[in-house]
Structure 1
Amino acid sequence: MNELLKRVLSGLILSVLVISGILYLPVFAVKLAIAFIAVLCVYEVFKLVDKKLLGIYSNEVLVVGFLSAISILFFSFYLSVMIITLYSFYRAVKKYDLNYLSYSIFGFFYGVFFPSSLGLLVDIDKNLLFVLFGVVWTGDTLAYFFGKNFGKNKLAPVLSPKKTWEGAVGSFVGSVVGGFLTIKFFNFELYWMIPVLISAVLLQVGDLFESFIKRQVNVKDSSNLIPGHGGVLDRIDSLIFASVVFFIFYELLKSFSIASW
Structure 2
Amino acid sequence: MSELLVRTITGIILAAAAVFSVLYFPVWLFKITIALITGIGTWEIFHLLSKRFEGINPLFFGISGFFLSIIFLFLPPFLIFFLIFLISFYTAHRVYSLDTLTASVFGLSYGVFFISSLALLHEQNKYLLLVLFATVWAGDTMAYFVGKTIGKHRLAPRLSPKKTWEGAFGSIIGSVFAGGLAAYLFEIPEAIIPVLIASILMQIGDLFESFLKRQIGEKDSSHLIPGHGGLLDRIDALIFASVVFVIFFQIKNTL
Question: Do the aligned residues in 2 keep the contact of 1:41 with 1:111 (CA within 8 Å)?
Answer: yes
What's the counterpart of residue 237 of structure 1? 236
Question: Do the aligned residues in 1 keep the contact of 2:41 with 2:62 (CA within 8 Å)?
Answer: no
What's the counterpart of residue 152 of structure 2? 152
What's the counterpart of residue 183 of structure 1? 183
Q: Please, what TM-score do these two structures have when normalized by structure 2?
A: 0.97
Q: Count how many residue pairs are aligned between Structure 1 and Structure 2.
A: 255
Offset from partner CA, 1:121-146 (integer Å, 9 cap, x none):
11100111100011001111111222
Amino acid at match of 1:221: D
Stretches of structure 2 that go unaligned for 5 or more consecutive residues are none
Residue pairs, 1:35-184, within 5 angstroms: 35-184=35-184
- Tell me how far apart the structure 2 counterparts of residues 230 and 181 of structure 1 sit (CA, whole Å): 30
- Tell me how far apart the structure 2 counterparts of residues 9 and 58 of structure 1 sit (CA, whole Å): 29
Secondary structure of the 2:222 match is coil
- Percent identity among equivalent residues? 52
Secondary structure of the 2:52 match is coil
Question: Do the aligned residues in 2 keep the contact of 1:139 with 1:172 (CA within 8 Å)?
Answer: yes
Amino acid at match of 2:227: G
What's the counterpart of residue 259 of structure 1? none
Offset from partner CA, 1:41-95 (integer Å, 9 cap, x none):
1000000011111431243212221111001111122111111111111111121
Secondary structure of the 1:87 match is helix
What displacement does 1:4 show?
2.7
- Tell me how far apart the structure 1 counterparts of residues 139 and 10 of structure 2 sit (CA, whole Å): 20
Question: Do the aligned residues in 2 keep the contact of 1:67 with 1:80 (CA within 8 Å)?
Answer: no
What's the counterpart of residue 200 of structure 2? 201
- Tell me how far apart the structure 1 counterparts of residues 198 and 210 of structure 2 sit (CA, whole Å): 18
- Tell me how far apart the structure 2 counterparts of residues 5 and 155 of structure 1 sit (CA, whole Å): 26
- Tell me how far apart the structure 2 counterparts of residues 165 and 7 of structure 1 sit (CA, whole Å): 23
What displacement does 1:21 show?
1.3
- Tell me how far apart the structure 2 counterparts of residues 35 and 71 of structure 1 sit (CA, whole Å): 9
What's the counterpart of residue 23 of structure 1? 23
Structure 1 vs Structure 2 CA RMSD: 1.1
Offset from partner CA, 1:163-216 (integer Å, 9 cap, x none):
11111110010110011100011011x222111111010000000000001111
Question: Do the aligned residues in 2 keep the contact of 1:64 with 1:83 (CA within 8 Å)?
Answer: no
Secondary structure of the 1:23 match is helix
Q: Please, what TM-score do these two structures have when normalized by structure 1?
A: 0.95
Offset from partner CA, 1:100-122 (integer Å, 9 cap, x none):
21110011011111000000011
- Tell me how far apart the structure 2 counterparts of residues 4 and 252 of structure 1 sit (CA, whole Å): 40
Deviates most, 211-220 or 48-57: 48-57
- Tell me how far apart the structure 2 counterparts of residues 78 and 104 of structure 1 sit (CA, whole Å): 18
Stretches of structure 1 that go unaligned for 5 or more consecutive residues are 257-261
What displacement does 1:220 show?
0.9
What displacement does 1:150 show?
1.5
Go from structure 1 to structure 2 and tell me whether the alpha carbon gap of 1:58 and 1:217 turns closer, same or farther (over 3 Å shift).
closer
- Tell me how far apart the structure 1 counterparts of residues 57 and 203 of structure 2 sit (CA, whole Å): 28
- Tell me how far apart the structure 2 counterparts of residues 87 and 8 of structure 1 sit (CA, whole Å): 39
- Tell me how far apart the structure 2 counterparts of residues 5 and 145 of structure 1 sit (CA, whole Å): 14
Go from structure 1 to structure 2 and tell me whether the alpha carbon gap of 1:58 and 1:145 turns closer, same or farther (over 3 Å shift).
closer
